[in-house]
Amino acid sequence: MSLYFFLIISVYLVYSLFKANKNTSKIAVRTVSVERPDIVLASNKIKILHLSDLHLENISISPKELYERIAGKDIDLIALTGDFMDRKRSLPKLAPYLQMLNKLEPRYGMYAVFGNHDYVLKGKNFAALKKILEENGCRTLQNEHSVIDINGEKLNIIGIDNYSTKHHDVAKSYLGVSDGYNLVLTHDPNVVLEMKDYKYDYLLSGHFHGGQIHWPKPYHLAKMGKLVRMNMVKGLHYHNGMPFYISEGLGQTGVNIRIGSRPEITFHEIA
């Protein structure tokens, strides 16, 4: 290989990595609407802010920038679907994001589930993560649910723990759930493949990052479950007639780059 050719290739690779890193700052703000055919709940749409996969080791938006992107929005509920971090040194980074989210004053609060990276923390460090979330106004759900009354009707917020690390227990999550609108929060969407006998009206998840490096195809996701092989890695999908959404996430894992994918902030309107 000639020196000239080597230099050309090197410059191209450096430029590509630079561009891939810049892509982590090009955040997509999306609005998704789903119908609620069997329940009224409210005369207006229920508006949910959904964030997933912050990965505070590799995130290219500051708490202030995040707030500026979503300030002024009318929000009923904030849903955080896991993978906040996997290193204890990142623990102090979380509270400023939660404080900014609290400034949005969601009518019915903020709820969170945990992802596979969160469980890397283990022991006292995982306990510290949970404590930070709860001290900053976030209800954490580990195979449990919370009920909100809206105009005399029930919104069941069902938190199923992470599927890929086998922390999930769908039956326990639904234990005691009565009639109402079932909103499920979970990290790994593959759990929907085991939920044929459990009704949900809408499910929010993350985990795949839209591939993060989605070029030419996200072949590296193959080991991450059957949904990938069903070409379900991001966006709105249906399984057994029930809708679920896979966020591309806000942060990155491994290296702070994205190719063929975008960090995502999502507003869901239950219409």
pLDDT value at 95 more than 80: yes
Return mean pLDDT, the chain.
91
pLDDT value at 135 more than 80: yes
Residue 35 or 130, more confident: 130
The model's pLDDT over 173-205, given as tens digits with 9 standing for 90+, comes to 999 999 999 999 999 999 999 999 999 999 999
- Three-state SS string over the chain comes to CCHHHHHHHHHHHHHHHHHHHHHHHCCEEEEEEECCCCCCCCCCCEEEEEECCCCCCCCCCCHHHHHHHHCCCCCCEEEEECCCCCCHHHHHHHHHHHHHHHCCCCCCCEEEECCCCHHHCCHHHHHHHHHHHHHCCEEECCCEEEEEEECCEEEEEEECCCCCCCCCCHHHHHCCCCCCEEEEECCCHHHHHHCCCCCCCEEEECCCHHHCECCCCCHHHHHHCHHHHCCCCCEEEEECCEEEEECCCCCCCCCCCCECCCCEEEEEEEC
- Confidence class for position 212, pLDDT limits 50, 70, 90: confident
Q: What is the mean pLDDT of residues 43-72?
A: 94
Question: Model-level pTM?
Answer: 0.92
* Domains by residue range for the chain, with CATH: 3-270 (3.60.21.10)
